[in-house]
Structures are given as structure tokens and as C-alpha cells.
């Protein structure tokens, strides 16, 4: 029987296929960013999106003349500036002595950690760059009676724009759900029954609600970006921003001199851009205690 441990060279091809498939599956199913942003996996480090000035319609009395406005073009570019990396060394004795497959475990752990980091990077940048703003009533989302008020105010901020057909989103942390779940279970009849039977409902008032772990929204420096997101949440229209991942995530297994086993490395290049002409469609929500 062929040994398929970390230190077996003959099975590297199969492990490579396994890791590539696992990474892509986790990234596409676990990332909130995949669901609210456009994703560019092309082999390029710049995504260009020039846009023109707004046209102004003239309303006058019946005359045979008109004024000519100047038309200007602004260049808007997404540039990939940050690298995500995760590297560990799995010793051969760790694989031999443990009762489960250490390689498969490290693949999944690295993939989930990378996904969480990408989500934090994208969501905090999205919130920081959005020009819409809203302050919740006291208690924020943890107070059940606030939910309908908050949702109606948020929806009103982006209503009337043609882009809303792409769908609306709201991203919360898990600690916000105490009030949200209570509100869902007490509003309406069939909806409340569904919430009582099935638990948290991921859509409310036509808005898709996504939940990330506590601590995702931070005020910090992430790579080359300074973000201000602590104590905040984000709402807006889907598909008005782009995150780029040239060539997707990559990985390597390396033999290291003086060590048994393999060094397992995952890395990728990530860039993000909320396009300037759409910035008003993303709302920075300030939570009030």
C-alpha cells in the first residue's frame, strides 16, 4: 500500500489537486466578499475603470438654442498592493504519530484563515471607502425594537438608484444577532414562524444579511491600507466594488534542509476598489451603545 504522508514525493500531484480544490471551494463558499463584490481573477495587477462626468439635462422655454457642457473623463484604477501568506512546517513525525491526516488538516486551516483575512480586508476597506453614513438608535442591532427602524432607514438611503437591482446586503458580526433574531421571530406571521422553526433568517426586508465573527471590523492598518471600521457595520448595493485576486491563491510544498517533513505555504495577491462613482451606494453604519 502506498503511504500518502506529507513526506511522500510520489503523491505530491494528488495532494496538489486536493489542496487547489479545497482552497477554491472554501474561498467561494465561505467569503462574504465573493457575494457582495465583483471578483477579478485575471492575470493582471491593475483593473481600470474610467468614468465620465454626469450629464446635465437643460430645461428651458421654447427656444432654438442650447448650451454645450464640457465633458470630462476621470481615470479610476484598482491596483493590487497587498499579499496574503500563510506558512507552516509539518514535521514527518507529526504525521506519523497523529491519528488523522495532518496535511489535510493544515490545508483546511490555512484556507479558512486566509478566507477570514480576505473578508476582513475587503469589508473594512469597503466600509472605510463608502461615502454613505448612518448612526443607529441606542442599542444598535442588539436591541430588537431597533431592527425595523434601522432597516427602513438604510434601504431609503440607496433607493431610487438603478444599481439596486443587483441586490442589497448588510454585514453584521455574530454579537449583533441577539436583537436581530428576536426581531425576526416576532415580526409578521409566516416570516416569524419560519424564524421560530429555522432560526436566523439570512434575508430581511429584501436585504441579504451576512454574518462574520466578532473582531472582523477593526480600526487598523491592513497591509498597505488604513481602515476605520471598529464599532461599525456596512450596508449597501452588491456589485459596486471589485476585489482582485490575480491567479487566485497559490501554494507550495518545500523540502527544508535539516528538517523532516515539508514546509507548506499558501499565498495570494489581493487588491480592492470601491469605484468612485458608486461610493454613495455603500453605507458606513456607526453603532450607538
Q: DSSP readout, 5-34?
A: STT-GGGHHHHHHHHHHHHHHHHHHH-SHH
Provide the pLDDT for residue 3. Answer: 44
Q: Distance between CA 190 and CA 211 in Å, rounded? A: 23
Instruction: Give mean pLDDT, residues 157-169.
Output: 89
Provide the pLDDT for residue 108. Answer: 76
Asked whether residue 148 carries a pLDDT value surpassing 80, the answer given is yes
| pLDDT per residue as tens digits for the range 85-123 | 888 887 776 665 565 566 677 777 787 888 889 999 999
User: What H or E segment, with its residue span, contains residue 169?
Assistant: strand 168-173
Tell me the pLDDT band of 198, cut-offs 50, 70 and 90.
confident
Provide the pLDDT for residue 13. Answer: 55
Report the range of poorest mean pLDDT among 17-21, 134-138, 163-167, 262-266. Answer: 17-21
Instruction: Give mean pLDDT, residues 207-218.
Output: 94
Q: Distance between CA 112 and CA 128 in Å, rounded? A: 24
Q: How many CB atoms lie within 10 A of CB 118?
A: 24
Mean confidence (pLDDT) of the chain: 84
Helix, coil or strand: residue 9? helix
Q: Are 166 and 268 spatial neighbours (Cβ–Cβ below 8 Å)?
A: no
C-alpha cell at 53: 462626468
Percent of the chain with pLDDT over 90: 41
Report the range of poorest mean pLDDT among 65-69, 156-160, 192-196, 270-274. Answer: 192-196
- Classify the C-alpha dihedral 127-130-135-141 as positive or negative: negative
Asked whether residue 275 carries a pLDDT value surpassing 90, the answer given is yes
Instruction: Give mean pLDDT, residues 217-237.
Output: 96
Asked whether residue 41 carries a pLDDT value surpassing 90, the answer given is no
C-alpha cell at 139: 442599542
Residue owning grid cell 512546517: 89
| pLDDT per residue as tens digits for the range 45-59 | 888 877 777 778 888
Instruction: Give mean pLDDT, residues 175-196.
Output: 83
Instruction: Give mean pLDDT, residues 252-275.
Output: 85
C-alpha cell at 34: 465573493
Q: Are 263 and 61 spatial neighbours (Cβ–Cβ below 8 Å)?
A: no
Percent of the chain with pLDDT over 70: 85
Q: Distance between CA 106 and CA 36 in Å, rounded? A: 28
Q: Distance between CA 164 and CA 169 in Å, rounded? A: 10
Domains of the chain: 9-51+72-288 (3.90.1690.10)
Instruction: Give mean pLDDT, residues 174-198.
Output: 82
Phi/psi class of residue 85: alpha, beta or left (left: φ > 0; alpha: ψ in -120 to 50)? beta
Which of 56-60, 63-67, 228-232, 255-259 shows the highest mean pLDDT?
228-232
Instruction: Give mean pLDDT, residues 193-222.
Output: 87
Q: Distance between CA 144 and CA 176 in Å, rounded? A: 10
pTM across the whole model: 0.81
Q: Distance between CA 210 and CA 202 in Å, rounded? A: 7
Provide the pLDDT for residue 98. Answer: 60
34 or 188, greater pLDDT: 34
Asked whether residue 124 carries a pLDDT value surpassing 80, the answer given is yes
Asked whether residue 60 carries a pLDDT value surpassing 50, the answer given is yes
Asked whether residue 14 carries a pLDDT value surpassing 60, the answer given is no
C-alpha cell at 63: 427656444
Which of 71-80, 137-146, 245-254 shows the highest mean pLDDT?
137-146
Amino acid at each position: 500500500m502506498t503511504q500518502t504522508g506529507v513526506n511522500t514525493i510520489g503523491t505530491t500531484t494528488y495532494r496538489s489537486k486536493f489542496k487547489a480544490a479545497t482552497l477554491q471551494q472554501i474561498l467561494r463558499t465561505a467569503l462574504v466578499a465573493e457575494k457582495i463584490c465583483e471578483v477579478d481573477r485575471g492575470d493582471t495587477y491593475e483593473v481600470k475603470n474610467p468614468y465620465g462626468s454626469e450629464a446635465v439635462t437643460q430645461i428651458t422655454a421654447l427656444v432654438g438654442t442650447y448650451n454645450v457642457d464640457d465633458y470630462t473623463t476621470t481615470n479610476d484604477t484598482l491596483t493590487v498592493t497587498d499579499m496574503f501568506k500563510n506558512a507552516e512546517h509539518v514535521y514527518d513525525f507529526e504525521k506519523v504519530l497523529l491519528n488523522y491526516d495532518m496535511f489535510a488538516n493544515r490545508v483546511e486551516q490555512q484556507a479558512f484563515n486566509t478566507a477570514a483575512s480576505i473578508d476582513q480586508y475587503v469589508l473594512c476597506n469597503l466600509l472605510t471607502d463608502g461615502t454613505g453614513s448612518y448612526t443607529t438608535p441606542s442599542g444598535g442591532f442588539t436591541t430588537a425594537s431597533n431592527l425595523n427602524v434601522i432597516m427602513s432607514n438604510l434601504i431609503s438611503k440607496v433607493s431610487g438608484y438603478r444599481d439596486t437591482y443587483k441586490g442589497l446586503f448588510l454585514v453584521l458580526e455574530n454579537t449583533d444577532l441577539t436583537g436581530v433574531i428576536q426581531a425576526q421571530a416576532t415580526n409578521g406571521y409566516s416570516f416569524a414562524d419560519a424564524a421560530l422553526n429555522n432560526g436566523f433568517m439570512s434575508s430581511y426586508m429584501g436585504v441579504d444579511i451576512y454574518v462574520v465573527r466578532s473582531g472582523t471590523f477593526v480600526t487598523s492598518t491592513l497591509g498597505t491600507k488604513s481602515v476605520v471600521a471598529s464599532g461599525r457595520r456596512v450596508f449597501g448595493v452588491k456589485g459596486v466594488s471589485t476585489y482582485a485576486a490575480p491567479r487566485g491563491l497559490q501554494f507550495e510544498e518545500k523540502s527544508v534542509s535539516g528538517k523532516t517533513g515539508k514546509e507548506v505555504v499558501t499565498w495570494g495577491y489581493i487588491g480592492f476598489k470601491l469605484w468612485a462613482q458608486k461610493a454613495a451606494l455603500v453605507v458606513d453604519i456607526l453603532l450607538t451603545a
